[in-house]
Amino acid sequence: MGIITIERKILEKNDEIAQQNRELFERNKIFVFNLVSSPGSGKTSILERTLEHLAGKIKVAVIEGDVQTDFDAQRVAKYNVPVVQIVTHGGCHLDAQLVQDALNKISLQNIQMLIIENVGNLVCPANYDLGEAMKVVIVSTTEGDDKPLKYPGMFLNASVLIINKIDLLPYVNCSPNQLKQNALQINPKLITFETSCTTKEGISEWCEWIVRQLHK
C-alpha cells in the first residue's frame, strides 16, 4: 500500500510539472512529440532522417535522453539544431522535471517544434507525461511483431506507431501487418507509418504528416 501511495504522489507531481511544460509550449506555439522505443529500434536514426528532411522548412530543437552517454546528442548536433542532452545515470525514463530543467538551456524563440528522444525503454516512459502533444512509439522489424501485446501501456498512450527497418523484412521473422493489427487491437486510434532509415522509404510521408500537425 505504501509503495502504491508513493508512486501515485510521484506521478501527481510529475503531472503538475508536465502541465507547466505544456502551457509553456502552447504559449510559444511549439509542437512537441516524445520519441519512445526499446533500445536499438532506430529512434536516433529516425530523428536524424527527420531533421534532414525538415531542414530549412521547420525550426526544430531537440532534447536527448540517455542512460549514460551523450553520443546521440553528438549525432544530432551535426544537423545544426539546438540540442540538450539529459543523462539519467541509470534512470529508465525522462520525467517532466528533467525536461523542464533542459528547457532552461534552450532558447524557445522562433522554435516551431521540439523533439524529445526518450531513454530506450517500453515500460517506464509510458507512465510519464512530459508535457508533449503526443508520444511516437517506434518498433523495428528486428523485434518481431508481438511488442504491442507485451507492452500494451506504451501503445495505449501513444498517438503514432512507426514500424522501422522495413528494409530488413526479408531477413527477419516479422509481419508488419500483424504488428499493426496487434497495436490497433490495443489502441484503434494509432496512426501508423513504415520506414527505413537506410533506404529512406516512408520518411517523407512521416515528415509530411508532421508538417500538417504544425498547421492545424
What CATH number corresponds to the domain at position 131? 3.40.50.300
For residue 87, the model assigns a pLDDT of 86
For residue 1, the model assigns a pLDDT of 43
User: Of 132, 119, 138, 179, which Cα lies nearest the Cα of 46?
Assistant: 138
Give CA–CA dist 141/57, Å, rounded.
30
For residue 9, the model assigns a pLDDT of 72
Give CA–CA dist 70/84, Å, rounded.
9
Give CA–CA dist 160/162, Å, rounded.
7
User: Of 68, 47, 77, which Cα lies nearest the Cα of 162?
Assistant: 47
| Residue appearing with cell numbers 503538475 | 16
Domain range for 61: 2-214
Give helix 96-103 / helix 2-27 axis angle, nearest 10°: 30
- How many structural domains is the chain composed of? 1
User: Of 202, 214, 193, which Cα lies nearest the Cα of 58?
Assistant: 214
Give CA–CA dist 87/94, Å, rounded.
9
Give CA–CA dist 15/83, Å, rounded.
24
Question: One digit per residue, pLDDT tens: the chain, 216 residues?
Answer: 455 555 577 789 999 999 999 999 999 999 999 999 999 999 999 999 999 999 999 999 999 998 766 677 788 888 999 999 998 877 888 999 999 999 999 999 899 999 999 998 999 899 899 999 999 999 999 999 999 999 999 999 999 999 999 999 999 999 999 999 999 999 999 999 999 999 999 999 999 999 999 887
Would you tell me how many other CB atoms lie within 10 Å of the CB of residue 121?
20
Give CA–CA dist 34/138, Å, rounded.
11
Q: Which residues pair with 35 in a beta bridge?
A: 117, 136
| Residue appearing with cell numbers 504491442 | 148
Angstrom CA distances, 80 to 60, 91, 103, 174, stand at: 10, 28, 18, 36
Whole-prediction pTM:
0.93
